[in-house]
Every structure is written in C-alpha cells, then in structure tokens.
Structure 1
Amino acid sequence: MGPPHPGAWRGVFTHKNTLGRLSVLALIVYWTLFRQERRHRVVWALLGLAGTVTLIGSRSATSLAMALLLPPCWIAIQIMTRLQRAYRLAIAPFMVALILVLSIMLPSQLESILGFFGRDLTLTGRIPLWRTLIPIALERPLLGYGYGAFWLGERSPLAAVWARSWNPPHAHNGYLDLWLELGLVGAVLSVLLLVLTVFRSAAWVFRENGSEISTFAFLYSVFFGLANATESVFLESGLNKAIYWVLLTYIYLMSRNMSVKRMHLQGTIKKVA
C-alpha cells in the first residue's frame, strides 16, 4: 500500500485490513482442516504458515488482535467440553467475574496495549469519526437512513464528515453502520442474530465434544463479532465481504438445525422408553 500505510501488504485487495481479516479467516479454516485431515497435515500447516506471513505483512492491528484472541477462545471451549455440565455451570460465574475484572483493569493499560500494535488512543482516527457519526445516528435512531442510503458522499447525511476533509467508505464499526442504515430496530435484530449464533455454536461444540466443524462454527462466530468492532462487514454486499455474513447465516441455520434434531431425537427416545 501507499500512503498513509506505506509498506503494508494488501495483496490482491484494495486495503491491508481486508488482507489481514481474510488471513485470520484462513488460519481458522486451515487449523480446522489440520485437526480433521491427518493425512494432509503438512499441507494445512504450510498453508497456515502462509496465512501467518500475510497476516503479519498486512500490519492490520485489528486482525493481529483477533489472531491473538481466538486461540484462548479455542482453548477455553476445549476445556469446557471435557467438563461435566455441573462443572461448567460452576465455572461460568468465575469466567464472568474474570471478564469484569479485565474490563476494569484494561482501560488504564489501553495506551500501552495500543502502542504495542502501533496505534494511538484515537484508533487511527476511528474514535473522532465515531464521535461525529453518533449525533447523526441520533437524528433517526429507530429506523436509520435506509440500507445503502447513508454513505453516498456530499449529498448524503455524511456531508458533516466530508467537510472535515475525510471521506471514509464506512463507519469502521459494523454495529454503528447497522444503526446508521437500519436504525436501532435493525441493529438490535442483527446483534441478536450474532449472539444467538455464538451461543448455539458453543452448545453445538458441547453436544459433539469439540468436533472440528462445531469448533469452526464457534470460532467463526467469535471472529465475526470481533471483526465488526473496527471494520464494517455486516452490511457489505461485495464478494470479499458478503462471504462473512453468508457464513454466519449458514452457521446459525446449521446450529439451529442440530438443536431441532436433538429435540426430535430426545422425544423419540422418550416415546420408545
């Protein structure tokens, strides 16, 4: 890439963040295949190495952060699958407490953490952008400005942002973009879909004792939620981004289907008994 990100890799894509995000997705896929197909492990390991190289070369801080957060999620879900249901319920409060403690401690260390990734407290201009967009979103809080009707340039509600000599293609936050275009109604429904997918995919992992496909579904759901924190992939229709919500929808339907099948199976067992 050229300025303002000279030296960062973008591959065949228009931006380094796209390459970084797809590299993380590739690592999830290759890790799943590495665990599933023992005969071709060398191939998947080499491809995983290639994905790691492109991830580092992209210099995408968000993608690097996701790549560091997903392994602990995988380890945690694998440990949980090996515990009985009663132990899982007992551990849950401790995990919630740990998250609360981290949420209290992290703000004081935020500058140091961001500095490690080469970023400042503005998240490369994202926070000033969000401060500009939130009041605009509050003007039409419930239904928003309509799908595809916000990021249209100087004649759109975006004029306030364009006046500051910056023409971002999106809000650099998928949840804020949902609010701007679909309002709180669309945003709440979309986030609810994401949350249900995360919980259902986690339940799928528990039911199948950490099978490869169920673990991929869980890791991808978490990945999708993290990716929307600093990028916008919820509403994109281009092929390089539409694949994300297409996969999320597929995982949601698959996890729901597995739950329905389990309920039918339990009902059949009870009738037989």
Structure 2
Amino acid sequence: MTRERPPHDRRAAAEAFLGAPRFAHALVTVSIAVSILATAIHSTIGWAGLIGVVAGIVVLAGLSLFARRDLIDWQGLLPISLMVFIGWATLSVFWSQYQWATLGGIAYLMAFSAIGLYIALVRDTIQIVRAFGDVLRFVLVVSISLEIFSGLLIDAPIAFLGIQGHLADGGPIQGLLGTRNQLGTVALIAAVTFGTELRTRSIRPELAIGSLLLATVTMIFTGSPLIGGVIVVLAGAIAALYALRRVKPAWRTFAQLSLLALVAIAALIAWAFRARIISLSNAGGELDYRLTLWRQMLVLIGFNPLEGWGWVGHWRSEISPFQAFAVAERVPVSGLNAYLDVWFQLGLVGAVIFVGMVGLTFVRSWLLAGQRRSVVFAWPALVLVVLLTSALFESSMLVEYGWLTFVVCCVKAARELSWRRAFTVPPLPDLQRD
C-alpha cells in the first residue's frame, strides 16, 4: 500500500502546479481565446455554458495569483481610473430599473476585468503579444475555414454561428465573431499583433508574414467600410510613432505637441467634410441604421442624463428601455458606439469617467511606445488606437475581448507610468537611436 501524502505536501504540490510558468501561459492563452470566441461559445452552449467557462477561468486565475503571490509586485495593483469606472458601474445598481440585469452585467464586467488583471500581472508584454498572436492565428484560420465550408462547399449559411456563406460572392464574411465588423476589428488587432511579432523576431519570419497575409485577406473579405476608416487612422498612428521614435530626446516634447496640432487639424478637416465621409461609409445603409439608433438613444438619455439607466453590458431586449429598440427586424445587442453606450447606461458622469480613463490609458501607452527602446511597447498603443477608433461604431470595447484587451493595456501602462510608483521606481530612460 502507498502511504498517503501529508496535507502540507499536497498543498505545496498544488501551489507549485498553479504557480508554474507553463500553467500561467496555458491559462492566459485559454482566457484570451474564450474572450475572443465568447460569441461563438454562447451560440454553441448558451449563456449558462459561457458563464460557467468564464467563472472557471476566474477561479483558476485567483488560485494562480495566490500561488505566485511572492513573485508579484502588488504596489499600485489597479489603475485608479479603472477602479472609479467599475465602482460607478456598480453603484448604478441602486437606481437601475432592471437591478437583476445590472447585477449580472456588473459580475460579467468584473469577471473579465479580473482575467485581464491576471494576464497583465503574470505575463510580460512580449509574452502577452505572443499569446494574443497564437489565439488570433487560430481564430482567423478557423473562421476562414468555416467560411470556405459554408460559402464554397455546402453553399449554405451556418445560422447558429451567424455565418451567412457569402464567400463565393466576395463577402461579407463573419467567421467566428458573428458580424463582419467584429471580425474586421479582430483581424486588424491581429495584423498589429503579427506585425509586432515580426519586428521583435519572436516567431519565424515566414510564419509572421503568412499571418499578416491571413489578417489582410480576412479584412478584405469582411467588406466593412467602417474598418476601412480604422485602417486609415491606424496607418497614421504607425507613421507618427515611427517618426517620434527617431526624434532626439531634446526635441521629443515639441514633436508630440506638433503631432497633437496635426491631429486637431485633421479632426477639423474631417468635420468639414463629414457629409462626404458619411456617404462613403454608408455601405448597405449601415451608417443610416446607426444614426437612427443613436437618435433614439439620445431621446432616452434625456430621461436620466446624469446617472444613466443602469449598467447592463450586453443589451437585453426583453427589458425596458431596451424593448424600445426591438421593434424593427434587426434587434440591436448594443448601442453600436461605446461612448454613447456608456452615456446611455451610466449617464454623463459615467461617460466623463470613461473618456478620462481611456484617454489616460492611451496617453500613458503612447508615451511608453515613444520612450522605450523595444518595439513591443508599441503594441498596446496601436491596439488601443484600433479599440478606441472602432468604439465609434461598435460597443465591443465594453464587453468580452474588447474589455479584456483594454484592461490589459490599462494595467500595463499604469504600472509603468503611475504616480504611485514614481517614489520607488526611477524615471524611464530616454529612447536611444537604433
């Protein structure tokens, strides 16, 4: 007979397993995959199955953090702006007219916040980029494979996944993300990730180039004119960041201010030609639909302008006031604009907190990208460009993969450029010329 191991030996073995780098790598990869594939998981096994998977990840992440407690710097654990936003969303349960839905939405928000925090704490930036890269390659390959199967082999839609089977007609395709805009956004984040992997030489060049081609082909077949606008903004950000990283430290402040002035001028020009831009972006009446939805939201915002109706995350068409938007054939599951959606759910106070939070996160990430020598620090800034720009016509930034990715970037940026760490951490060295 084998002697039973003492309890303290079993605990030590469990902590060694949960605190192992390989376990952290596996859990981070699974967490990212679940956040990106949440729509497909929900469509396959329902809300109960998805919530069960997310809850299991949160529990494992908590146990892993406990096992690694001596290896983690707990100072300034969470950005204050992020805590304030989550706190205000939590307080909205007191004035929400659908408290049970608000409680569920807050729990869902906190779950992905906790997972994002775990990822930011246990993995370096390059490790996070690699994990995102592996997951995004899988998602895009499977999405294209399913589109080929649906559009070319059986010539029929895969209804439960939202795949319409239009590949033979040149698109649009939806893949595992449910809509073409969501797939296009994920493909654009993938392009940024694959480009970072190529520049950092973290994977074989041929794999990185092939992945970039895959992301490009996916974006083309989504046929999303809205994604086209994000690509223009992203290209401008890449060019600006490339130039800033080669400016001498003494001139960098002047260069940043000049860039800010150019962005303001570009915004004014875009506003002056807004009618033309709207007409170019209104393929298939997409923008008309959004404008109609936003007008309805503004009317309802007027009833609770400061505090909002209460946080819910994903819209629930069976409860008021979301029932007012479910009268048409197309039932919206979000406000299709993250900023307006936050205003609608959390009022003007919540919108101001949200804009301040995302603005502070982007500024920190942008400064890090310009100061740090390694090109990997450009990844959070460029991913935020995609998220914040696409948030003008989608609300995906508020839930699941969008929120998790934002939390990762927010925590990473805050821990590198936090006033709470300024007394213990020396200032960042200036970027040297390569």
User: Quick one: higher RCO (CA 8 Å, sep 6+), 1 or 2?
Assistant: 2
- Counterparts of 1:120 and 1:94, CA distance in 2: 38
Q: Work out whether residues 185 and 386 of structure 2, in 8 Å CA contact, stay in contact via their aligned partners in 1.
A: no
Q: What residue is the counterpart of 2:222 in the other structure?
A: 58
> Match for 2:332 among 168, 185, 188?
168
Q: Work out whether residues 149 and 156 of structure 1, in 8 Å CA contact, stay in contact via their aligned partners in 2.
A: no
Instruction: Give CA-to-partner distance per residue, 1:122-148, whole Å, 9 cap, x none.
Output: 714111211111120121122211122
What's the CA shift for 1:152?
A: 2.6
RMSD over aligned Cα, in angstroms?
2.8
SS state at 1:264 partner: coil
What's the CA shift for 1:10?
A: 0.9
What's the CA shift for 1:265?
A: 4.0
Instruction: Give CA-to-partner distance per residue, 1:140-194, whole Å, 9 cap, x none.
Output: 1222111228833254113433345542111110111111122222222222221
1:231 partnered with 2:394: yes
Report matched runs for 1:1-273 at 5 Å. Answer: 2=164, 7-37=171-201, 40-117=204-281, 119=283, 123-148=287-312, 151-153=315-317, 155-163=319-327, 166-209=330-373, 211-236=374-399, 242-260=400-418, 264-266=424-426
- Counterparts of 1:155 and 1:254, CA distance in 2: 37
Q: Work out whether residues 217 and 251 of structure 1, in 8 Å CA contact, stay in contact via their aligned partners in 2.
A: yes
Q: Work out whether residues 16 and 58 of structure 1, in 8 Å CA contact, stay in contact via their aligned partners in 2.
A: yes
- Counterparts of 1:47 and 1:122, CA distance in 2: 29
Q: Work out whether residues 114 and 121 of structure 1, in 8 Å CA contact, stay in contact via their aligned partners in 2.
A: no
Instruction: Give CA-to-partner distance per residue, 1:30-75, whole Å, 9 cap, x none.
Output: 0000101176111110111011001110112222222232122112
Shift in CA distance, 149/197, structure 1 to aligned 2, threshold 3 Å: closer
Q: Name stretches of at least 5 consecutive residues in structure 1 with no aligned partner.
A: 237-241, 268-273
Q: Name stretches of at least 5 consecutive residues in structure 2 with no aligned partner.
A: 1-162, 428-434
- Counterparts of 1:188 and 1:134, CA distance in 2: 16
SS state at 1:12 partner: helix
- Counterparts of 2:324 and 2:411, CA distance in 1: 40
- Counterparts of 2:264 and 2:412, CA distance in 1: 32
- Counterparts of 1:41 and 1:262, CA distance in 2: 38
Report which stretch shifted further, 116-125 or 5-14: 116-125
SS state at 1:125 partner: helix
What's the CA shift for 1:15?
A: 1.3
Shift in CA distance, 102/67, structure 1 to aligned 2, threshold 3 Å: closer
Question: Structure 2: which amino acid aligns with 1:42?
Answer: E
Shift in CA distance, 266/108, structure 1 to aligned 2, threshold 3 Å: closer
Report which stretch shifted further, 126-135 or 103-112: 103-112
Question: Structure 2: which amino acid aligns with 1:102?
Answer: A
- Counterparts of 1:14 and 1:120, CA distance in 2: 17
Report which stretch shifted further, 140-149 or 5-14: 5-14
Q: Work out whether residues 165 and 173 of structure 2, in 8 Å CA contact, stay in contact via their aligned partners in 1.
A: no
Question: Structure 1: which amino acid aligns with 2:391?
Answer: N
Shift in CA distance, 38/151, structure 1 to aligned 2, threshold 3 Å: closer
Structure 1 outlier segments of 4+, above 6 Å: 3-6
Shift in CA distance, 180/69, structure 1 to aligned 2, threshold 3 Å: same
Question: Structure 2: which amino acid aligns with 1:98?
Answer: L
- Counterparts of 1:107 and 1:120, CA distance in 2: 22
Shift in CA distance, 220/152, structure 1 to aligned 2, threshold 3 Å: same
Q: Work out whether residues 122 and 128 of structure 1, in 8 Å CA contact, stay in contact via their aligned partners in 2.
A: no
Shift in CA distance, 107/254, structure 1 to aligned 2, threshold 3 Å: closer
- Counterparts of 1:39 and 1:266, CA distance in 2: 32
Report which stretch shifted further, 159-168 or 213-222: 159-168
Tell me the percent identity.
Answer: 23
- Counterparts of 2:345 and 2:282, CA distance in 1: 31
- Counterparts of 1:255 and 1:157, CA distance in 2: 37
Shift in CA distance, 95/120, structure 1 to aligned 2, threshold 3 Å: farther
SS state at 1:139 partner: coil
- Counterparts of 2:312 and 2:388, CA distance in 1: 21
